[in-house]
């Protein structure tokens, strides 16, 4: 699901125009250009029946939308929200049964050489293989 979710985001032209292909899971390569998105699985719950896993999964994903300004980070976060909020449909062999916004927060980070703004959005993603 992780690679398909990244592909679903990149298939959205307004978001791709902002981040190009700079969407990664868990970490960004050092020195990556901005704006960008780093995604994290916060939790995942697999549905079971008496016969075993049903194939349906509910996953909470955090999208850290980063930019050199607060406005650029917010623009990326708003494009993520425009693409995912309420989305349902098939993509890349997966059936996304519903994507729902669950939270938002912002922050500013700085290390010795660079600084960046982050607008984080959390979504619960209901999905199953198609």
What domains does the chain contain, in order, with CATH numbers?
2-129 (3.30.2000.10)
State the Cα–Cα distance between residues 19 and 15, nearest whole angstrom.
6
Residue 4 pLDDT > 90: yes
pLDDT in tens, 85-95: 999 999 999 99
User: 128 and 48 in contact (C-beta within 8 Å)?
Assistant: no
Distance between start and end Cα atoms, the chain? 11
> Residue 30: which pLDDT band, with cuts at 50, 70 and 90?
confident
Calculate the average pLDDT of the chain.
95
Q: Which residues contact 99 (CB under 8 A, 6 or more apart)?
A: 84, 85, 86, 87, 88, 123, 124, 125, 126
Length of the chain as a residue count: 130
Long-range contacts (CB closer than 8 Å, 24 or more residues apart) made by 43-48: none
User: Cβ atoms within 10 A of the Cβ of 37, count?
Assistant: 25
**The model's pTM:** 0.93
Q: What is the largest CA-CA distance in the chain?
A: 54
Q: Note the pLDDT of residue 29.
A: 85
Instruction: Report d(CA 68, CA 116) in Å as an integer.
Output: 5
Q: What H or E segment, with its residue span, contains residue 75? A: helix 70-84
């Amino acid at each position: 699901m992780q690679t398909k979710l990244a592909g679903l985001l990149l298939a959205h032209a307004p978001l791709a125009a902002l981040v190009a292909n700079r969407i990664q899971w868990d970490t960004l390569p050092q020195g990556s250009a901005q704006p960008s998105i780093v995604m994290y699985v916060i939790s995942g719950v697999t549905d079971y029946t008496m016969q075993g896993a049903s194939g349906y999964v509910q996953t909470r994903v955090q999208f850290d939308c980063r930019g050199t300004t607060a406005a650029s980070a917010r623009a990326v976060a708003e494009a993520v929200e425009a693409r995912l909020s309420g989305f349902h449909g098939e993509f890349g062999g997966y059936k996304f049964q519903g994507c729902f916004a669950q939270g938002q927060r912002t922050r500013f980070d700085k290390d010795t050489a660079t600084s960046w703004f982050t607008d984080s959005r959390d979504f619960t993603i209901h999905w199953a293989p198609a």
